[in-house]
Amino acid sequence: MSSPNGRISAQAEGKTLVISYEGKKALQMEELPFASTDFSFVRNVKEDYRMLTGKRLVCSNEGNEYVATLGEGVKMVLRLYNDGIAFRYDYPEAWTGSDPTVFRIPEGTRRWMQQWTDSYEGFFPLSTTYKVEPVPSFSGISKSEEGYNNRWGYPALLEPQDGLFVLLSEANIEHGQSASCLYNDKELFKVVPADLTKGTVPIVRNTPWRVAIIGSLGDVVESTLITDVSNPCKITDTNWIQPGVVSWVYWAYNHGSNDYSIIKKYVD
């Protein structure tokens, strides 16, 4: 299996899927819910669309789509684009939040990853190991039995080979689904969706797209793969949306939103 330009390829090996870039291993997924190499080519995906904001006005992408049937109506849809991969799982019934995706990030791999914090205001320091002490002030952290942080947020930037980068993220989260994060057990990093609100009934039958942008650092920065696999905006007339003047209280007064007199000044 390969992308249209041939740079990105995928090889299923038992319950492991290896993604390569120009013959160099870029990413490895393990513990797949099947032990078959039987992916079938479905179609060539080629799209052009326009954006109101973002990296460019006119975006284009091209990829090859493959499907593996995992049994009981469950399918893995894998797209190999010219600048990365995107995959998701399709289910015969409404998705309940589970996801079988597990990435292996070997020790020694250069990585820039944010320890999970509920505020999503953490840093992305360079590291080469999963053995990272938790930041005590972060909320929502999780620790392994060894005492290391084991919960991480997106995006996660990896450099598996010198000059070859992989950016892990997700896209096209639909109503009834939830965003996810990464929980690791040593070198294995599992995609774990946040718990759905109790009583919520999912109305979709697939996971969000799991995305890996692959190439040089310039390729990663310039890629529009996140929006490439996302549904277009349903608002067709956006002329009524006009930015206004705003002032933000938080940085000037930490937790100043609790002070009624300060809020009145900012509203004025």
Cβ atoms within 10 Å, residue 134? 18
Structure tokens given for 255: 């937790």
Weakest mean pLDDT among 34-38, 135-139, 154-158, 250-254: 34-38
**Residues 6 or more apart whose Cβ sits within 8 Å of residue 27:** 18, 19, 85, 103, 158, 160, 166, 212, 214
Q: Which residues pair with 115 in a beta bridge?
A: 152
| Greater pLDDT, 70 or 146 | 146
- 134 with 141: CB under 8 angstroms? yes
Per-residue pLDDT for 198 more than 70?
no
Token digits of residue 136: 């005590």
Q: Average per-residue pLDDT in the chain?
A: 90
pLDDT digits (tens, 9 = 90+) for 210-247: 999 999 999 999 999 999 999 998 888 988 988 888 77
Q: Give the rounded percent of residues in the chain with a pLDDT score beyond 90.
A: 63
CB 107 within 8 A of CB 129: yes
User: Residue 243: is the preceding peptide bond cis (ω within 30°)?
Assistant: no
d(CA 245, CA 44): 45
Contact 110, 158 (CB under 8 A): yes
Query: What does DSSP say about strands 102-104 and 84-90: parallel, antiparallel, or unpaired?
Result: unpaired
- Record the pTM: 0.90
CA distances from 244 to 39, 112, 240, 241, 247 (A): 50, 35, 12, 10, 10
What SS3 class is residue 94? coil
pLDDT given for residue 203 in this prediction:
65
Which pLDDT value is given to residue 40? Answer: 93
